[in-house]
Amino acid sequence: MKKTRKEKIKIKWSPNFAYALGLLTTDGNLSKDTRHFDFTSKDLEQVVNLKRCLNLKNRISQKTSGTKKKSYRIQFGDVRYYKFLLRIGLSTNKSKSIGGLEIQKRYFWDFLRGHFDGDGTFYSYFDKRWKSSFMFYTVFVSASKNHIVWLQKEIQNLAEIKGHITTNLYKSIFQLKYAKSESLKLLPKIYYDRGVVCLSRKRLKIEKALAITGKKL
C-alpha cells in the first residue's frame, strides 16, 4: 500500500518497529489531538535511532532547558499510527496510567531494549561485605505500578527470571530490578545480536561491567 500524507509510518512488526515502541512507551508523548507525537531525549543518538526505526523524514531540532542542558527533539504526525498505539495500550498522559501492552512475543526483546534505553538503567559496584564481590543490576523504571508488574510477568514468562520490584517513599516511581545472576540471563536476550539498534553508551557500560566478570554479551 502506498503511503499517503497522513500515513507515514509502515505498521508492520519487525525488530526496529518494536524497538521504537519501547522508546515511545517510555519517552514519547502522544498529543491530545489524536495525531501528533513528540519524542525528546538528551541523547542525539536516541532520537536518531527512533527516526531511523520508523523511517521518519522529519527534522530533529535542538532545545535548551532552564538549566542550559541541551536536548534533542523530533515531532511527527500520523493518524493511523496513533490509532495503532491506542489499540496496543498507549494513551495520552500515559506515565501513571499505562498497564500491559500488546507486544508480539517474537519482538518482545526488541521492545524491551527500547524500553531500557528510554527509562532503564544499569549500575555496578564492588560489595565491600565480600572480598572481590562485583555486583551489578539491570533496572526498568515506570511511574505506573501496573505497567512494571506487567513487565515483570512478561519477562518471567519468556526468560524464567523473576526480578524484584521496589518503590520510592511516595510510591510514585517503581523499579523492576534484576541482580547479577538474573542479569546474566536477561542481557544476552536484550542484546541478542551485535547489529541490533540500541543506545551505544548504555551497551558499552554493560560490556565494561561484564568484562570484569569475564563475561560477554
List pLDDT tens digits, range 135-159.
999 999 999 999 999 999 999 999 9
Provide, for the chain, the percentages of residues in helix, strand and coil under a 3-state DSSP scheme, each rounded to the nearest 5: 40, 20, 40
* Res. 103: pLDDT tops 90: yes
Per-residue pLDDT at 128: 79
Which residue, chain included where needed, has cell 500500500?
Answer: 1
Per-residue pLDDT at 63: 84
Domain assignment of residue 22, given as a range:
15-94
Same domain, 57 and 89: yes
The rounded distance, in Å, linking the Cα atoms of 40 and 75 is 9
CA distances 130 to 67, 124, 133, 183, 212, Å, are 41, 15, 5, 20, 16
- Is 107 within the bounds of a domain? no
The model's pTM is 0.93
Q: What is the mean pLDDT of residues 124-142?
A: 89
Same domain, 40 and 90: yes
Up-side HSE of residue 92: CA atoms within 13 Å toward CB? 8
Q: Which helix (H) or strand (E) holds 174?
A: strand 174-178
CATH number at residue 67: 3.10.28.10
